[in-house]
Chains A and B, each alone.
Chain A
Amino acid sequence: MTVSQAIGLCPTLRLLEPDPVHYDEQFAKLLSALTEVSPVVEQAELGLAYVGTDGLEGIYGSAEKIVETIKGTLECWNVGMSEASSFRLGWGVGKFIAWVAASRAKRSEAIVVPIGEEQKFLASQPIAVLPLDHDIHRRLRQLGIRTLGALAALPEEAIAAQFGSVGRRLWLLAAGRITERVVGRISPEPIVAALMFFTPIGERELLIHSLDQLIVRALRHPRRIGWRVHALRLRADIEDGGSWLATILLKDPTADGARIAAPLKTRLEQSPPTGAVERLVLEFTAFAPGTSELQLFARDAQAAARAGQQRALQTAAREIRMRIKRSSLYHIIEVQPWSRLPERRYALIDYEP
């Protein structure tokens, strides 16, 4: 439904701008809270996380007690929220069963599928819980297959013949034959570069100029040396409280600023922020090791030289701080070099080598 259709149906409708940065931050806090219960936490998508509970019995006890502990953690997380949100919990062997159980649970409740009862639990579930596209869903319904039990009752080969490898996987899921384990991921510490504007800017050219500056700053970060950027996010705080977020996964990891900028610029062209931007934040969130060939290029030789300079600067800055008891080193950075107001063009930023 489009916004105009919605307003047509409900003239008193109150429209709220999405705030993806807020959602992302809350979800990050949730993941962080879950790591207090288990070291194995897998982020599937925004709002969906898997917690590995293998080996936790010695700490918390039975599956029900583990679920209660997670529930308690989520309730504590919920208390800190400005608006109460709900959660659903499911426990089962493998990610699919746990997900189905969670999707069937009531708000702020949990469903535990005991070991050995997976097939019985799955049999009554609708086929909509399977990860299938609209076309397969329609065809299954036309064939009169409405539950996972009905699907699992058919021969595996017959389903594979009709729907190919996707169909075989769906059958295996429906029959409870696939047990996907939770894979905890090592989250690299992101490299962050931020720019705050004295006055919110809306012009796309100015945003792109600022983006280029942020990329240069982030690439110079010593932690980036020897690594190519694989995933990045560009976040914008919008005047009047909204936010904008672009997440990019680079097909070919790179340390080249232009190649990093290209998909972000496309995103800014195609779906720009809905208002004037007060702050722009660039994060490099995932990295790939630099190839051995890459080390031969001048860019990485320069990076190695910069690392040496960086160490020398760190030592000097530490000495200054010890002598005068405070940091008084600043960078001069371009903020709005195009501004007609001289005080807006450049700014000092704390320098922390």
Chain B
Amino acid sequence: MVAPTRAPLRTDRLRAVNAPQQVTVDLQESGLMTVGWPDGRTVGRVEAILESWRIDDEWWRRPIARAYLEVMLEGGKRLVLFQDLITGEWFSQMP
């Protein structure tokens, strides 16, 4: 007998690269801003905000609204954070 005429279609599985990682941001009244991981570990204290921008997208399906901050932590490490303006949660992400 002849083999099936068509090979089954392989659906390529995609995994997102650079997915946002949830962080916590603690802003004190004194203006001191501290970034940490959800498990309580501290990432670092923010020394300066270098840049800020906002992304609004996909208003026609599930709206996305993010306020991005590029910050410099104590010690000179740079980090990009954004706050999801719909849920209020903070994330870290490579720009």
Contact = CB atoms under 8 A, between A and B. Distances in A.
A154 to B, nearest CB: 42
B10 interface: yes
Nearest to A194: B12
Contacts of B13: 349-350
Contact of B14 (A28, A39, A184, A349): A349
A258 interface: no
A103 interface: no
A323 interface: no
Nearest to B6: A28
Nearest to A191: B7
Interface in B1-16: 1-7, 9-16
Contacts of B86: none
B5 A28 contact: yes
B43 to A, nearest CB: 18
Contact of B12 (A41, A195, A346): A195
A349 B12 contact: yes
A196 interface: yes
Contacts of B6: 28, 32, 187, 190
A343 B18 CA distance: 5
B95 A196 contact: no
B10 to A, nearest CB: 6
B13 to A, nearest CB: 6
A335 interface: yes
Interface residues of A, number: 35
Contacts of A23: none
A309 B93 CA distance: 35
A347 B58 CA distance: 20
Interface string A33-54: 0011001010100000000000
Interface in A261-287: 279, 281
A55 to B, nearest CB: 13
B41 interface: no
Instruction: Say whether chain B's binding surface is mostly helix, strand, loop, or mixed.
Output: loop
B94 interface: yes
B14 A335 contact: yes
A342 B9 contact: no
Nearest to B94: A342
Given A32-B4, A35-B4, A39-B1, A192 B16 contact: no
Contacts of B95: 342
Nearest to A198: B16
Interface residues of B, number: 27
Given A187-B5, A190-B7, A342-B93, A330 B15 contact: yes
A341 interface: yes
Nearest to B95: A342
Contacts of B77: none
A194 B17 contact: no
A281 B94 CA distance: 30
Q: Quick one: which of A330, A333, A342, A349 has the most chain B CB within 10 A? A: A342
Interface in A4-60: 28, 31-32, 35-36, 39, 41, 43
B60 to A, nearest CB: 10
Contact of A346 (B18, B55, B58): B18
Interface string A328-353: 00101101000011111111111000
Interface in A190-227: 190, 192, 194-196, 198-199
B58 A196 contact: no
A335 B61 CA distance: 19
Interface of A: 28, 31-32, 35-36, 39, 41, 43, 184, 187, 189-190, 192, 194-196, 198-199, 279, 281, 330, 332-333, 335, 340-350
Interface of B: 1-7, 9-20, 55, 57-58, 61, 64, 93-95
12 contacts: A39-B2, A41-B5, A189-B7, A192-B9, A194-B10, A333-B14, A340-B55, A342-B95, A343-B16, A344-B16, A347-B14, A348-B16
Given A35-B3, A349-B14, 9 more contacts: A32-B6, A196-B11, A198-B16, A333-B14, A340-B57, A342-B95, A343-B16, A348-B14, A350-B12
